[in-house]
Structure 1
Amino acid sequence: MPANRNTSKGRRAKSSKHKQPGILLRLFHRMPRWSFWLGVVAIMVVYVWAFYYFFVSPFGFRWRALYGDTSLPQGYEIHGIDISHYQGDINWAMLRSQGQIDRCPIRFVMIKATEGASRIDPKFKNNFEQSLEHGFTRGAYHFYSVHSPAKDQANFFIKNVNLQQGDLPPVLDVEHKPKGQSDDEFKNSVLEWLNLVEKHYGVKPIIYTYYKFKMQYLSDREFDQYPYWIAHYYVDSVEYQGDWKFWQHTDVGKLPGIKGYVDFNIYNGSYYDLRQLTIGSRETIGVEAYKEKN
């Protein structure tokens, strides 16, 4: 029996020792209450700072645009939009009667037509017809694919897009370079698309791309002969120092008649200049050949 009592005492000793609070817990109990709350506040401040630094600050302009606190480019009067099936069904009558950007009417609409060598935007036909019917200067663009030869893509665009007098020149939207092509091969492919489309419509196509892509891949002199449509978001001015015709300055615009967001663009010139750029104008290159063909 004595052995059992010793064992019991040993167990109680171990148990009481086990229940003693740790060093950190004892220090915590000895700390003043105000120091605890000070630590909580400090942790919250660090968390808020980290969240802002890594998630808000790099996209600050976009956050302000999303919540309607961004300014529009100043000094431009000719505004337009570009659309695709992502905008869904558009109320064209409302867009025409109520749609304004910076208290200026919408003058032009760029419409996605094709992509690659086999894809037609499902809303293209209706958008293309409705934009003309409601009095907008319209244009059609092709999204360049890295998966199809440039010749096939050009022929596919030509087959499906019937541009008329008064329409803007065809647009090549090029934003990606095929991984299997060298820079020179890629440039030649882009030029092949441009040359084939120019030969068919009788006008020099417009090149759409973003600033850094232009400078990295399309900065050669032969590309400067084409009208340039630059995508450069949430900045007060375009950094590109060369000539440009259009500037896509935000992708979070809101307008009556369109659900969700839509891209806003400006034209670098007057409305007269915009109309002079269209097919059939006296200044359009090669238009007589196009008129004879059609």
Structure 2
Amino acid sequence: MKSAIACLLALAAAAQAAVPGFDISHYQPTVNYQAAYNSGARFVIIKATEGTTYIDPKFSTHYTGATKAGLIRGGYHFAHPGETTGAAQADYFLAHGGGWSGDGITLPGMLDLEASGSPTCWGLSAAGMVAWIRAFSDRYHAKTGRYPMLYTNPSWWTSCTGNSNAFVNTNPLVLARYASSPGTIPGGWPYQTIWQNSDSYAHGGDSDFFNGDLAGLKRLARG
């Protein structure tokens, strides 16, 4: 936990800087990774898995292309809380591209937490949702030595976790808010590590900004 807190404090110190990036999935079957890099992007987060049955068919292609272009890259898992355990979904994610190594070019995995149809909170109470996220996070940490980043938006986090602050000292926040500024940060996090500010990016996918400088981004990748 101390290393995670130190990393977060280092990121906060560089909060005035911002490094562009983006996130993609099979919905962007063709991506010009080199053009993205040439335009200033330095990282990309790529969909790997969903639940315990789905592997994104473009994950390997995207991951290889991003690596060749010199982008720092990582995978994300679209959560299906309550359908199977958090630990089971973490294992599935890790088995299909969601791992992390301290090579300086791999981001810790990201857990995508949002609604998918109805019910909004996947049928879980706030306490149940927090426990599910904790189970995923703890399993990922046990297997990799890193806590996963948590992707959410303020409305979902408030509704589905009761605006829990249980992950402030361990898990970096990836905040989805399509606006001119990040706005109020949910869950007691003092700031976002990554801000998804738009669902449109010039080279495909969603637009992201790392809250810090390039050195800070590399520290996040190294652990």
**Which TM-score tier does this pair reach, normalised by the shorter chain?**
0.7 to 0.9
What SS class does the counterpart of residue 197 from structure 2 fall into?
Answer: strand
Q: CA deviation at 1:189?
A: 0.8
- Deviations for 1:98-148, whole angstroms, at most 9, x for unmatched residues? xx2xxxx00100100000001000000111122112100101110001433
Structure holding more helix per residue:
1
Matched ranges for 1:189-268 at <5 A:
189-218=132-161, 219-225=163-169, 226-240=171-185, 242-255=190-203, 258=204, 262-268=205-211
Aligned: 1:170 with 2:106:
no
Structure 2 counterpart of 1:152, from 84, 88, 112: 88
> Contact conserved, 1:112 with 1:121, CA < 8 A, in 2?
yes
How many Å separate the matches in 1 of 2:147 and 2:176?
Answer: 19
- Deviations for 1:231-288, whole angstroms, at most 9, x for unmatched residues? 0002334222732100000002223xx4xxx21010111111111111xx3xx2xxxx
Show structure 2 runs of 5+ residues with no match. Answer: 1-15, 116-120
How many Å separate the matches in 2 of 1:235 and 1:117?
Answer: 36
Q: 1:178 to 1:251 in 2, by over 3 A?
A: same
TM-score, with length taken from structure 1: 0.62
The Cα RMSD (Å) is 1.8
How many Å separate the matches in 2 of 1:93 and 1:190?
Answer: 35
How many Å separate the matches in 1 of 2:219 and 2:44?
Answer: 16
Q: CA deviation at 1:158?
A: 1.3
How many Å separate the matches in 2 of 1:217 and 1:224?
Answer: 16
Show structure 1 runs of 5+ residues with no match. Answer: 1-74, 285-294
Q: Residue 131 of structure 2 aligns with which residue?
A: 188
> Contact conserved, 1:228 with 1:246, CA < 8 A, in 2?
yes
Counterpart of 1:222 in structure 2: which amino acid? A
Which fold has the larger relative contact order, with Cα–Cα distance below 8 Å and residues 6 or more apart in sequence?
2
- Deviations for 1:1-44, whole angstroms, at most 9, x for unmatched residues? xxxxxxxxxxxxxxxxxxxxxxxxxxxxxxxxxxxxxxxxxxxx
What SS class does the counterpart of residue 106 from structure 1 fall into?
Answer: coil
**Identity value in percent:** 28
Q: Residue 33 of structure 2 aligns with which residue?
A: 92
> Contact conserved, 1:114 with 1:157, CA < 8 A, in 2?
yes
How many Å separate the matches in 2 of 1:93 and 1:108?
Answer: 12
Counterpart of 2:166 in structure 1: which amino acid? E
Structure 1 counterpart of 2:44, from 105, 109, 125: 109
How many Å separate the matches in 1 of 2:90 and 2:41?
Answer: 29
What SS class does the counterpart of residue 273 from structure 1 fall into?
Answer: helix
Q: 1:86 to 1:186 in 2, by over 3 A?
A: same
Q: CA deviation at 1:216?
A: 3.2
How many Å separate the matches in 2 of 1:77 and 1:154?
Answer: 29
What SS class does the counterpart of residue 154 from structure 1 fall into?
Answer: helix
229-238 or 105-114, which deviates more:
229-238
How many Å separate the matches in 2 of 1:273 and 1:236?
Answer: 20
What SS class does the counterpart of residue 253 from structure 1 fall into?
Answer: coil
> Contact conserved, 2:125 with 2:160, CA < 8 A, in 1?
no
Q: 1:77 to 1:188 in 2, by over 3 A?
A: closer
Structure 1 counterpart of 2:73, from 119, 133, 138: 138
- Deviations for 1:201-258, whole angstroms, at most 9, x for unmatched residues? 1111100011222233343232112100000002334222732100000002223xx4
TM-score, with length taken from structure 2: 0.80
Q: CA deviation at 1:76?
A: 4.5
